[in-house]
Structure 1
Amino acid sequence: MATVNHEIDRQAADWAVRRDLGELSPEAQAEFDAWLAADIRHLGAYGRAEAVLGRLDRVHSGAIEQVRAYKPAPLWARRRVVMTGSIAAGLAAFGVFGTAIWEAGREQVYATGLGQVREIPLADGSLVVLNTNSKVKVRFTPERREIHLVQGEALFDVAKNKKRPFVVMAGDMQVRAVGTAFTVSMLPQRPIQVLVKEGVVELKRSGPAKGPPVRVKAYTQAIAPADAPIVAAGVAQSKLERTLAWQFGRLAFDNETLQDAVGEFARYSDVRIVVDPAVAKRTVTGLFVSNDPIGFAKAAAAVLNLHVQVSEREVKLSGKPDGAP
């Protein structure tokens, strides 16, 4: 499995570099689209490769030029460049700006609208990706990096700094990390959820369900109901990749019921999908554009042999009458 994942990462790095250097030809774009759709792991690997390029673009310009000379290198080599002293000068220069913000202790607010996904580079080198209809407040001090998730869902890719813990607050939950990647979601009528992609985080509650801190490792999802203890369970890599597809503007389903899929699309668009209860339990599998409910409804109708009716702000899915083509 490790060899397979390494090869996928190498392919993803090659695609990221080719797209970063310039637009692909129509033939190459078709090849890229086919590769992306062939395996859900390709989507996650490509996203990671893009994140590496994004990080390089946020460091000092001198370091950028040094790294760009090695663009054809595979992802693992590029990661080694990022992690070693070859860009230390750039990171040090970047840190000067970050320290100014920590010392000022100013609070910054970032938000997304319906159907938007936004990447937010932070002064310490961390990255926040906000999902649809989400809001965070960021406040750095010399002792602590503090993020308040006001609503919605966010992915945090945390730069390591043991002297300044990175703490995300959501409701009565505190998620503490040093250097890791994880998501926190706080959605209406759902328990707070934490999904750890890399590293280890510590969960601590202050509300009525307060208990001892819980450490959660990579490939684990923790669910915190309002009036019950935190429950953590392992997550397969394929499911983790599907769950995080939103950061690339996609929703990935694997035998999800129409009813559940429609519920997810409702988070990204004000165009409603109405499903006939008679077909609501039918299942769908695939990768879909998150803010295109009409495209999803038409694709589901074609695969499941359903009738689709589209109006300006509503899409209806229902079973076809007996004998209908």
Structure 2
Amino acid sequence: MNQDRLTPLDDDAITDAAAHWCMRLHAEDCSAAEREAFAQWLAADTRHAEEYQAMLEIWHTADMLPRATHVTELPAARSHQRNWRPLASAAVITLLALPLAGWVGWEQGWLPNRYQHFDSDQQVRTVQLHDGSQVELNLNSELRYLNYKDRRQVDLIKGEAFFKVTHDSEHPFIVRAGHGQTRVTGTQFNVWKYEDQVKVTLVEGSVLVSSNSGEGGYRLGPGMQASYSIGDFEPQLAQSDDYANSLAWRSGRLVLDNLSLSQALPVINRYLDKPLLLADSSVGNIRISGIYDTRDVNRLVNNLPKVLPIYLTRNDNGSTVINRILPSSDKG
């Protein structure tokens, strides 16, 4: 059989088997013989590991699987991020078809009935979620969408996204990013994430932004921004008259409006393979302005010594380091 093509029956069989092994390997009574049988099934076809990984991610996202210590680990080569085949979304349907776990999981709001995964590489991408909401993904961004009985949930894994959310007052739309979340029923807003830093910019409607460390949350109005990072008890709020700068990426522009380098670097580094680094804190106080192409941020980096009193070096890891040019001492 051609290993690159599957019939619908083949698809269903692999999905059913992946669902079975996902539950059995996390069961307390899973035997050594079963684990050996799973290892043989896994080795029989490369698609088995792919589908099992898809099943694991869905269950772990829903917090339904215990972190069992005896579960067979997939080979490292299998665990990288990949483009999800249409079969992956069918994994949820298979889980929901299981009589007890599926029904209880859906009714209790533990398991979704819809799952979508999107990413972008070197171009901005617009996608539509199952509920009709539209999302624009910035370069090098990734998210997943899960539809639960009582809510719609997006996990922004990395990057930046602009949301136009379909109104549904009975099913709130929640974006989880970093160590906090944004909750809406229908509105337009932007979420930017870099490492553990997150910034939410509201364009239309209202949103409730909260950090995982605090309680409640803060409601934003149009033009307001909320920022948080790991350990923050509450988001930092700001009213911005020029919040459009935060949305300039939608037209391929990176706008730096009189920012210090310490403020600008997280924004710039989003577009680089290796992050820019500051040689010391004094370099971070130097300010920068300009409008740049998000698809050619390396040119911005190379031109920094032409517009700022700095010079560039490379460290042992190959990252570019920004150093300050100290003023010459007065000669007596």
TM-score, normalised by the number of residues in structure 1: 0.54
- For the 8 Å contact 1:307–1:320, the answer to whether it is kept is no
Q: What is the 5 A alignment of 1:90-105? A: 105=113
**In structure 2, distance between residues paired with 1:250 and 1:284:** 15
One of 249, 252, 266 as aligned partner of 2:252: 249
Query: Would you say the 8 A contact 1:152–1:187 is kept in 2?
Result: yes
Is structure 2 residue 291 aligned with structure 1 residue 284? no
Partner of 1:162: 169
Q: Which amino acid aligns with 2:145?
A: V
Q: For residues 236 and 219 of structure 1, what CA distance do their matches in structure 2 show?
A: 6
For the 8 Å contact 1:271–1:293, the answer to whether it is kept is: no
1:230 matched to 2:234: yes
Q: Is the 8 A contact 1:220 1:232 kept in 2?
A: no
| 1:202 aligns to 2:208 (yes or no) | yes
1:151 aligns with 2:158: yes
Which of the numbers 172, 182, 190 marks the counterpart of 1:175?
A: 182
Change (3 A) 1:126 1:316: same
Judged with a 3 Å threshold, the aligned counterparts in structure 2 of structure 1 residues 262 and 111 are, in CA distance, closer, same or farther, namely same
CA distance change for structure 1 residues 109 and 301 in 2, over 3 Å: closer, same or farther? Answer: same
Larger RCO (CA under 8 A, 6+ residues apart): 1
AA aligned to 1:246 is W
Q: What is residue 132 of structure 2 aligned with on the other side?
A: 125
Alignment check: 8 A CA contact 1:110 1:136 kept: yes
| 1:106 aligned residue | 114
Q: Which amino acid aligns with 1:234?
A: A
Shift of 1:261: 3.1
CA distance 1:273–1:187, change in 2 (3 Å):
closer
Deviations 1:154-208 (A, max 9, x none): 2211122334322222355342212211223443243x43222211112355x4x
In structure 1, the residue matched to 2:72 is none
Contact 2:178-2:196 at 8 Å conserved across structures: no
Query: Match of 2:244, as an amino acid?
Result: E
Determine the structure 2 residue equivalent to 1:136.
143
Segments of 5+ residues of structure 1 without an aligned counterpart are 1-100
Task: Please state which structure has a larger fraction of its residues in helix.
Answer: 1
Return closer, same or farther for 1:274/1:293 CA change in 2, 3 Å cut-off.
farther
Deviations 1:102-147, CA, capped at 9 Å, x for gaps: x99221111234x553221224432112234332111235653221
SS of structure 2 residue aligned to 1:247: helix
Once the two structures are TM-superposed, the CA of residue 268 in structure 1 deviates from its matched residue by 0.8
Please say which structure displays the higher CA radius of gyration.
Answer: 2
Confirm whether residue 300 of structure 1 aligns to residue 300 of structure 2. Answer: no
Change (3 A) 1:116 1:215: same
Give the whole-Å Cα distance in 1 for the aligned partners of 2:145 and 2:311: 47
Alpha-carbon shift at residue 305 of structure 1 (Å): 6.6
1:259-270 to 2 correspondence within 5 Å?
259-270=262-273
Matched residue type, 2:238: G
- Aligned 8 A contact 2:114 2:130 in 1: no
Which residue of 1 is the match for residue 218 of structure 2?
214
When residues 142 and 273 of structure 1 are mapped into structure 2, their CA distance, relative to the original with a 3 A threshold, is closer
Alpha-carbon distance between aligned partners in 1 of 2:182 and 2:194, rounded to the nearest angstrom: 16
1:267/1:249 Cα in 2 relative to 1: closer, same or farther (>3 Å)? same
Secondary structure of the 1:252 match is strand
Question: 1:306 offset after TM fit, Å?
Answer: 5.9
> Is contact 1:269–1:292 with CA below 8 Å preserved after alignment?
no
